[in-house]
Structure 1
């Protein structure tokens, strides 16, 4: 009697995948998961889609405010006045505009002064045809004989030479350390922890200020 093959055992054996088939299936599954993760969220809320993490970065979006014409800047004139005044008060002709903006904002927010920077600028004679080029010329205008103007002028000098200003919370804050004029105008030394090259201290130095 012929014995028929028994298929009951082989029918329940798991199907074996080749290495190539397994890797292909895995790559397909991972690709689908990555595409789903990178796509926009399934939401009908347009606000979520527009401002979600998949949205265009704000820096790449056009500004809704029209650009200010270069002939009519909104805040550069007060800053320019402050830098011009500061240059004469400190004796340093070229000053950092970013530091100047910080110091100017601190002065404008301070209740400690009875005159403003533009008023000090006017009283110092900077709107004249020949603005005062030196601190000696400023002294001749009587700027330092009046307490109100002298207090503001002294504070401006202090800001630039120390690099420390008063923030909106009334706290003393360091705007700069290395670039404070107290260090910049001393050619024979360096800020603490800022080392020069070996033996720099033994070389003759030249004064930055006259």
Structure 2
């Protein structure tokens, strides 16, 4: 019993400062524990690298094939290679059809002397694109003195290029073509006209 009258529990001795100094912090795991050791690299890890390269190449090839026409327009130098490749694998490489890159340079409609019902139309078309394009169709509209439509007709390349000495199957980059038509109007009379080049 203490002097102050309290009893001392015999089973629980009071903790002294000396006792707390003896408590040491000991980590449960340290750097030498197997859990902290890195796992040895797998001997099959090279397969993942090879597989990644193969998948990336396959994706690139699919995109290049899907957008081959667009790529040939952006990079015209690639078109001959695409043509060669398509001849091997059976794909097609149609010529571009970009009507916005066509410009009518000059045109003229005249009546043939001594033939009042016959007219001839001459026109020059330029390809502004840096790549070859397919030959467009030509729409000719004839109007009268009041600018009312008298007749309209669409002509294919085989029709408006029939008078050319050299056969043409494409419109080369930054090049021009010359169209020529002779038509019999019959009872129609036209004093005006317009030309429209287009792709289907």
Same fold (TM over 0.5): no
**Relative contact order, higher structure (CA 8 A, sep 6+):** 2
Whose radius of gyration is greater, 1 or 2? 2
TM-score by length of 2: 0.21
TM-score by length of 1: 0.21
Higher strand share: 2
